[in-house]
Structure 1
Amino acid sequence: MKFLKVGRVAIITRGRYAGKKVVIVQPVDNGNKPHPFGHAVVAGIERYPSKVTRRMSKSRQEKRSKIKPFIKVINYNHLMPTRYTLELEGLKGAISADTFKEVSQREDAKKNVKKVLEDRYTSGKNRWFFTPLRTSQFPQRRMYTNVIWLQQERSECQKKSLPRSLAQ
């Protein structure tokens, strides 16, 4: 796909990392023998950094600024691209399809990704990438409580014996 290029930020829609933000490191449009479909090697954030304030000590700020990364080969069907891009020079040669063959290589790649992402976070660039997605857990419940609240207001207006046009 033309728009899924290196550095494009996407959101994973399925699986263990659903809802997590990733950056595309190596796109493979036509597939290959182990993965015979369009896919991408991505690096993402499994655990986002916590909120940091100025009142916290330096050690606490460093502790809360830690990131837990992951690397993964993922099908294009399970990625939702965003309008954002991320320039990660340190990741271009560090991760490839061969990285996933041995566990030790994967661990080294994860450490490299962690270092690059934490440097990016501490520099203050691309703040949106380092915040978790905001989703409403219970949109139906909120709508239901609003309906009850409106019904209570109407009943109060009727009790005050206001004209019918104002009560509605």
Structure 2
Amino acid sequence: MGKFMKPGKVVLVLAGRYSGHRPYSHALVAGIDRYPRKVTAAMGKKKITKRSKIKYSVDIPLDKTVINKDVFRDPALKRERYKTGKNKWFFQKLRF
């Protein structure tokens, strides 16, 4: 069996030999709040696009003692983080 639990990958192990035995100190929990509704062939394009929207939720535990308010107020700091090129996924929408 190959190595399937690696950093940067999404693996959900609910049962079995490896369940609960990985020493990660943090996790990003993402879920779907609103699922797409049923679509039929008789519906128009506009109605299909409205019914196929997905609302997602992300649970991030923030430690407010570490983050100061100046970081959120100054857009130049966000621009610097964006231009470094690291963590590109942080500045993109979630895709499901």
Give the TM-score of the pair, scaled to structure 2: 0.46
Compare the two structures and name the one with the higher helix fraction. Answer: 1
More strand, by proportion: 1
Report the TM-score, using the length of structure 1 for normalisation.
0.28
